Amino acid sequence: LRKPKVVVLGAGYGGLITTTRLQKLVSLDEAEITLVNKNDYHYETTWLHEASAGTLHHDRARYLIKDVINTNRVNFVQDTVVAINKEEKKVQLENGELEYDYLVISLGSNPETFGIQGLKEYAFGITNINSARLLREHIESEFAMYNNEEEKRDERLTIVVGGAGFTGIEFLGELGNRVPELCKEYDVDFKKVRIICVEAAPTALPGFDPALVEYAVNHLQAKGVEFMIGTAIKECTKTGIIVAKGEETEEIKANTVVWAAGVRGNSIVEEAGFENMRGRVKVDEFLRAPGHDDVFIIGDCSLVINPEIDRPYPPTAQIAMQQGETCAKNVAVAIRKQGQQAPFTADIKGSVASLGEDNAVGVVFGKKVVGKQASFMKKMIDNRALFMVGGPSLVMKKGKFKLI
């Protein structure tokens, strides 16, 4: 009898939770499980702001996939997904093709640039290990260049961060600690450095508790960050950005522009022809693509409505991991063709934004937390994600234990 083929695309939070649960739930005789990922490692997307600023080495933010999956149960294929053909039930890879009976799409997100000119060409992103390493190296080399030119170019020391959402704020928190170190290392006067955050909405961290927003903004301002609130980036050029506040526009010269102003679902999902909103597919209650009972979509490629406010949940690792648990169960039910699909319900425990390694703001189980206590909680959240995938040994290897 031919065994059903399960193919999981992407070894991020959603894909790894699905795979590690599925390898236990389903026996060798029941199904053939294949996991596809671009790299042979998983990276903690939620730690990329640190690797990008250079406050944490990028190797700390990644681990080998073979160390957390059972390679006797799961075929791991290191390759890049190029396209999904849902009618023929095939996945095209850069170096081959896979057939599936059941597909799990957990390919994460792409930056959302809203069609703003010049961003793709000139702005840096906080997207994966390669982009993080590039941004860290770029900032450092600008500092290194500064004192090696006769005519000083202050734009080398100007860093613009587009967007004061969680990603922008967390990256600024790291820069706040990293820039004084760079100044010392490269004999640069701190007063020459500008770190500018441009946010289009009327507040930083829109939608977050106003007292916590104020705490975060005050902390970052004390570290030297300038905020341009209610100001939108309109264009990015080779030499900087053009911003607009109401009718007024301004050019800011900057050699480093970081786009942290939002994400959309992986473009492969759109190209596959699934009905989507900005690359995110509104899945049914069992996490399946509408009209495709054999395709499960989770993480940043999926869209689930929060019934309390009738709006989509924001794309987070928290949700991706919870979806992974439900998805594994539902794939097992589908393979066996018996039992009931389990509906997915999100259990949001809160959210904490770090402000460098020694400070943070957040709401946890409905309670506001700031400062060292919040920072401790953020590290525990980071460690918990490791625990969920790789148990205590992964926490020992990669966990954050420096308690301040």
Does 13 participate in binding ligand FAD (rule CB under 6 A)? yes
CA 53, 55, 57, 63 dihedral sign is negative
C-alpha to C-alpha distance for 367 and 62, rounded to whole angstroms: 31
C-alpha to C-alpha distance for 229 and 219, rounded to whole angstroms: 16
CB of 32 to ligand FAD, least distance (A): 19
CB of 48 to ligand NAD, least distance (A): 9
Amino acid at 365: F
Does 164 participate in binding ligand NAD (rule CB under 6 A)? yes
The active-site residue out of 44, 50, 142, 170 is 170
C-alpha to C-alpha distance for 248 and 379, rounded to whole angstroms: 42
Does 348 participate in binding ligand NAD (rule CB under 6 A)? no
Q: Give 198 or 334: the residue with its C-beta nearer to ligand NAD.
A: 198
176 binds, among ligand FAD, ligand NAD, none (CB under 5 to 8 A by kind): none
80 binds, among ligand NAD, ligand FAD, none (CB under 5 to 8 A by kind): ligand FAD
266 binds, among ligand FAD, ligand NAD, none (CB under 5 to 8 A by kind): ligand FAD
Beta strands in 230-325 (DSSP E): 232-236, 240-245, 248-253, 256-259, 263-265, 281-282, 288-289, 292-297, 302-303, 305-306, 311-312
C-alpha to C-alpha distance for 101 and 376, rounded to whole angstroms: 44
Does 162 participate in binding ligand FAD (rule CB under 6 A)? no
Q: Give 188 or 261: the residue with its C-beta nearer to ligand FAD.
A: 261
Residues 6+ away with beta carbon under 8 Å from 335 = 4, 6, 26, 30, 31, 101, 102
How many other C-beta atoms are found inside a 10 Å radius of the C-beta of residue 82? 13
Q: Give 284 or 300: the residue with its C-beta nearer to ligand NAD.
A: 300
Q: What is the CA radius of gyration of the chain?
A: 22
Residue 170 is among the residues annotated as catalytic for this protein? yes
When binding is defined by CB under 6 A, the residue of 6, 8, 11, 139 that contacts ligand FAD is 11
Q: How big is the site for ligand FAD, counted in residues (CB under 6 A)?
A: 32
Amino acid at 237: T
198 binds, among ligand FAD, ligand NAD, none (CB under 5 to 8 A by kind): ligand NAD
Structure tokens at 15: 């894909």
In the complex, the residues that contact ligand NAD under the rule CB under 6 A are 116, 162-168, 170, 198-201, 206, 232-233, 260-263, 314-316, 351-353
In the complex, the residues that contact ligand FAD under the rule CB under 6 A are 10-15, 36-39, 42, 45-46, 48-49, 80-81, 106-108, 126, 167, 170, 266, 268, 299-300, 315-318, 320
Supply the residues annotated as catalytic: 170
